[in-house]
Structure 1
Amino acid sequence: MANPILSRTTLMTGAVAMSVRGVVAKSAFLLSLAAVAGFGVFFYALTAGLSSGILYTMAIVAVFAGMGLGLVSSFKPHLAKTLAVPYALTEGVLLGAFSLIMYRIYPSVPLSALSATFITTAVMLTLYVTGVIKVTAKFRSIITSAIIAIGILYLVQLGFRLFGSSLPLLFDGGLVAIGFSVFVTLIASFSLLLDFDNVERGVEFGVAREYEWVYSIGILSTLVWMYIEFLRLIGYLQSE
């Protein structure tokens, strides 16, 4: 999701300041690691015939591990450089496991979700750079509040899933679930704008170059979230 640690890093200036190019390079590196790990998990699990139960367990463990690493990076940003690679690999496990779960149900969904994620990222970047959408304080507040609310709902749903149940309507297909998934996908997409704005502010404030890893973790987190949401949304649409 959107990088939550801007307020912490704005005071952490250094002799060598961060740059947009540095964040882009580190984000590309982490994204590549996550992709390699994701493909590795996907094809290993596919050829080994791992059950959906095992894949769900892997995905859930990866979710909690990623949350833990992300929170540590947020509250201890000086550790982000050390935690960035483990975080990317953990996200890769989540990507691979969840992609295979969806692939077994709807084989075309992972590729469609991947394409949608790249296209949406390009569109959001264009909208931000051209100033079509400006990240105002009100915009940031609305998107952040929505992210928190969605996060709480997902944690509740995860609790339900652990006991073999689910929140009614929102996660069981149908028009309400599709509508909710569209909403969450839009929020995930708009949260990229917060990430872009965070990076720009960090550069303006002269945040030390070592904290580029924190922003890169935030961008990777948002991209993974977007991809997962597109998987769910496209899967719902194909089931109708």
Structure 2
Amino acid sequence: MSGNPIFGSKNQSANWGTGSNAGSPVGFHESGNLSADQLQGMYQQPSATSHDTGRMTVGDTINKTILTLGLVVLGAAAGWAVPILMLPGALVGFVLGLVNVFKKKPSPALILLYAVAQGLFLGGLSQFLNGLYPGVAIQAVVATFCVAGVTLALYRSGKYRMSPKLNKMFMIAMIGMVVFSLVNMVMMMTGTVDGMFGMRSGMLGVIIGVVAVLLATYALVSDFTMIEELSRQGAPAIMAWRGAFGLTMTLVWLYTEILRILAILREE
């Protein structure tokens, strides 16, 4: 994963002027000429934000993630009320997701639009499945928060971290999952397989769903690692949007997979 362009190289901090050779902070050498009162005044100043320093911080990324997830919730409320918005939301969300993934410089506007579109899709899908299996939507929401919370706790404790071996397994599993999903979608559209989820029904569907949830948790670990690495390297403040987008996309995926698993279990 170290070759991923989003992480940058280990020398990226030097390019951003935050490496060990970047020189002393402005005014450092002159601090010896300040009086005790002046130094005390400097220490009492509020901590610099990402806006002040022009650098990405974990706190700023969290704030932006809360904003994007808030828009997902608002979009979901609209999609729940008007389920027909699910299809355009899915299409727009898919396109904007690809654009944001491959865009070198994060675009806050496109990321926020992505959050709204995904909200419309999730709201319509949740309303539809909740109509068939009452209570499944709230169960999926609670389960998503629980899984994400446990993943974060394990990451912070150092028990769940990225590794070269896990990265290879993750990429192979992801490629297999994408290929299977595309084949399943084509077979459903052509009427080759029946059922709401096509080949992702029954016990096979549950097993595939559990694998997808495990992949989503590793994607969360990748997001956490990326955010900490970029913050440590002194990445530009705009990169906080990259972290917010990654977390939002992964949480949307996690919720969708959990919702699918619960619907399959209720269908049995």
Fold conserved (TM > 0.5)? yes
Query: What is the aligned partner in structure 2 of residue 214 from structure 1?
Result: 242
1:149 and 1:36 map into 2 onto residues whose CA distance is 33
Match of 2:62 in 1: 24
Structure number having the greater helix percentage:
1
Structure 1 residues 81 and 133: CA distance shift in structure 2, 3 A: same
Of 260, 265, 268, the residue aligned with 1:232 is 260
1:40 deviates by 1.6
> Quick one: structure 1 residues 36 and 204, their matched pair in 2 at CA, closer, same or farther if it must change by over 3 Å?
same
Instruction: Name the structure 1 match of 2:181.
Output: 154
Q: How far 1:44 sits from its partner (Å)?
A: 3.1
Q: Tell me, what secondary structure is at the counterpart of 1:77?
A: coil
Cα RMSD (Å) of the superposition?
A: 2.5
Residue range with higher mean Cα deviation, 145-154 or 123-132: 145-154
Contact 2:200 2:206 (C-alpha < 8 Å) held by counterparts: no
Q: Which has the higher contact order (CA 8 A, sep 6+)?
A: 1
User: Is 2:123 aligned against 1:96?
Assistant: yes
**Rg (Cα) greater in structure:** 2
CA distance in 2, matches of 1:5, 1:83: 20
Percentage identity across paired residues of the two chains = 27
Pick the aligned partner of 1:42 from 76, 80, 84: 80
Q: Deviations over 1:165-213 (max 9, x none)?
A: 4489973522222111111122112221111111111112221111111
The more displaced of 197-206 and 117-126 is: 197-206
Single out whichever of 167-176 and 204-213 deviates more from structure 2. Answer: 167-176
CA distance in 1, matches of 2:182, 2:60: 33
In structure 2, list runs of 5 or more residues that go unmatched. Answer: 18-52
- Structure 1 counterpart of 2:6, one-letter code: L
TM-score normalised per structure 1: 0.84
The runs of 5 or more residues in structure 1 that have no matched partner are 46-53
Structure 1 segments of 4+ aligned residues over 6 angstroms from their partners: 167-170
The count of residues paired between Structure 1 and Structure 2 equals: 226
Change in 2 beyond 3 A, CA 1:209/1:20: same
Q: Give the whole-Å Cα distance in 2 for the aligned partners of 1:68 and 1:139.
A: 29
